[in-house]
Structure 1
C-alpha cells in the first residue's frame, strides 16, 4: 500500500517485466483511489483505471464520451498517488487528432501511468460493449498511434492500441486494423468485444507474436474464459474493468433499501464493519506515525 512518503520504483519497467514473463497479467478495474487501494491490498500486481467506472464515479453517467482528457489525466494521477502498483489507464480516443494525442500522452505520462490505451472510435465514443459504435478510418488511427509513440518521453510507457471495429465492420477488419496499429508502433494490441470463443481464438491465432489484451468485461458481450484458457491462447494482459464498480453499487443499493425499509441500517452493521476498521484500511495508522514523527517541538 502506498504511503505519503513512498518513492515507488520504476512501475513502467515493472509492468514490462510482468508482461514478458509469459503468464497473463490480471488487472482489476478501479474507478477511484479507494478502489485502487483495495486492489493493491488484495495482492494484485497491476490496477486498471476504467473509463466506464471513472465516468460513473465522477459524473454518475454512462460511458459515452462525457469526460475530457484533462479530467481523465487528473483522475489517473489520483490513482497513481494512491498505490505503488503500475496503473494502466483508459485514454479513450486520445481526445482529438494527433496533436491532441500528443498532449494526452504527455498529460498521462506526467500523471504517472505505466500504460494507456487509445481506441479507434469516432468521438464522442462509448463503452466498447454498448451498441451504436462508429470507428474512424484506419489510417487516421494509425497516425494517432504514431503520434502517441513519438510523444512519450519514457520509452517504458506502454501504448496499447484498441480497435472497436469488430462490432462495426467485422472481425477480419478489426484484425487488419490491429496489424496496422502494430506497424505504427503500438506495444500491445486490444481487439475489443469479440462475441464468441471462436472469435477470441481467431484473434489469438491471427495476432500471434504480438502482446495481446483481453477485456474480461463483467456482464459484457465477450464470453468469459478461464485464466488457464487465456494463458493457452497467449494473452498477455487481462482487464477486469467494472467488477469493483458493480460490487460497490450492489452493496450500496442493498444498504439504502434496508435503510429505507427499516429506518436504520442496523441489520447490516455486522457486514459493514466499523469506522475504525475502515480508517485502518485507508491508512490512519500511517497518518498517526507521520503526526508523531513531525510533532512540533514545544518552545
Structure 2
C-alpha cells in the first residue's frame, strides 16, 4: 500500500523484539521501495538501507558524496512501504555532535527503525584503509552519546559500527565496542570480521550485546549461512548490496541482448510479468479502495 500499516514505533518495537528473540534477524539491502516490498513478501525480518547502495542509486561512488537529506529521504521512501523495520547506514553521522543530533531526529521523523554510525573520519572514503581514517574511541563515543541523547523515541535502535579490525585487531574491536556500549549504543556492527572463529571471540567477549554480521559479497568476511550465524549467536545479518548487484547484472544482460539480437524476445521468460508486478504492488487493493474508500485495510 501507499504506506505501512504499522507505526514507526511498532516497527522499532518489533526490531528490538527480534534482536532479543534468539533468532537470527535477516535484513537484505533494498535499493528501492519496490525491492523492499519484495523483501517483505519473501518473509525476511527487516530492511537494510546501505550507504553504498544509496550512493550507487544516485549514480555516485561511495565516497561520502550523498547528503543527509538525500540519505534520509530515500530511507523514508523505502521504510514507508513496508511493515518491516528498516536499519539505515548514516556513515559517521554527517558531522560533529550537533550534526549527529539532527541526523537522529530526522530519521525518527521519517519513520526509520534504527541506524548505524561508524567510527571513521567523515566523510566516508570507501576503499581507503581503515587504519588511516579511524577516529579515536573517545570521539566515536561522543558521537554515540549525541545520538543516544537525541532520541525522542527510546525504542529507536542505535547501532555502533567499528572498522578497527584491520588496524587494531579483535582486541581493539572489543575495547571500542565496550566504550560505544557505555556511551549508549544498543548493538555492535564489527566490520571485516573474518570467519567463525572471530565471531566466536566477539560473542564470548560481548555476551549480552546484540551483534550484527555483514554478509556482503567481495568483502573481507567469509559468507556464512544463516544456520552458521544462528549457531554463533549472531543476532542480525545484513546482505547490503546483494539485490542491487543481482538487478544490475540482469539489467546489463537484458541491454546487451537487445543490442546484439535487436529484441528482448529471447529473455522475456526471465522477467517479472505485468501480472507479477501488479501483485507485488497490490494493484487490486488500490482498485478496491478507489471503488470504496472504506476498503483500506488495517
Query: Quick check: TM above 0.5?
Result: yes
SS at match of 1:170: helix
SS at match of 1:65: coil
Partner of 1:7: 5
For residues 5-30 of structure 1, what are the alpha-carbon distances to aligned partners after superposition, in whole Å with 9 as ceiling and x for unaligned?
65314111111111111111111111
Task: Show structure 1 runs of 5+ residues with no match.
Answer: none
Partner of 1:135: 134
Q: TM-score, normalised by structure 2?
A: 0.92
Whole-angstrom distance in 1 between the partners of 2:69 and 2:196? 37
Whole-angstrom distance in 1 between the partners of 2:135 and 2:108? 25
Whole-angstrom distance in 1 between the partners of 2:199 and 2:4? 40
Whole-angstrom distance in 2 between the partners of 1:5 and 1:234? 34
Q: TM-score, normalised by structure 1?
A: 0.92
Whole-angstrom distance in 2 between the partners of 1:123 and 1:101? 12
Whole-angstrom distance in 1 between the partners of 2:27 and 2:3? 25
Whole-angstrom distance in 1 between the partners of 2:185 and 2:112? 16
**Higher mean C-alpha displacement, 191-200 vs 68-77:** 191-200
Cα drift, residue 52 of structure 1: 1.1
Whole-angstrom distance in 1 between the partners of 2:36 and 2:53? 12
1:38-187 matches, cutoff 5 A: 38-57=38-57, 59-127=58-126, 130-133=127-130, 134-187=133-186
Q: How many residues align?
A: 290
For residues 135-193 of structure 1, what are the alpha-carbon distances to aligned partners after superposition, in whole Å with 9 as ceiling and x for unaligned?
11111110110111110001110100110111233332122111100111100011111
SS at match of 2:235: strand
Cα drift, residue 106 of structure 1: 0.2
Whole-angstrom distance in 1 between the partners of 2:245 and 2:3? 32
SS at match of 1:123: coil
| 8 A Cα contact 1:48 1:87, kept in partner | yes
CA RMSD of aligned residues (A): 1.7
Partner of 2:36: 36
| 8 A Cα contact 1:162 1:190, kept in partner | yes
Cα drift, residue 72 of structure 1: 0.7
Whole-angstrom distance in 2 between the partners of 1:162 and 1:5? 30
Cα drift, residue 270 of structure 1: 1.6
Task: Show structure 2 runs of 5+ residues with no match.
Answer: none
| 8 A Cα contact 1:73 1:107, kept in partner | yes
Partner of 1:21: 21
SS at match of 1:279: helix
1:249-268 matches, cutoff 5 A: 249-268=248-267
Distance 1:273 1:73, change over 3 A: closer
Whole-angstrom distance in 2 between the partners of 1:26 and 1:220? 18
1:195-206 matches, cutoff 5 A: 195-206=194-205
Cα drift, residue 205 of structure 1: 2.0
| 8 A Cα contact 1:50 1:241, kept in partner | yes
Distance 1:273 1:188, change over 3 A: closer
| 8 A Cα contact 2:4 2:82, kept in partner | no
Cα drift, residue 203 of structure 1: 1.9
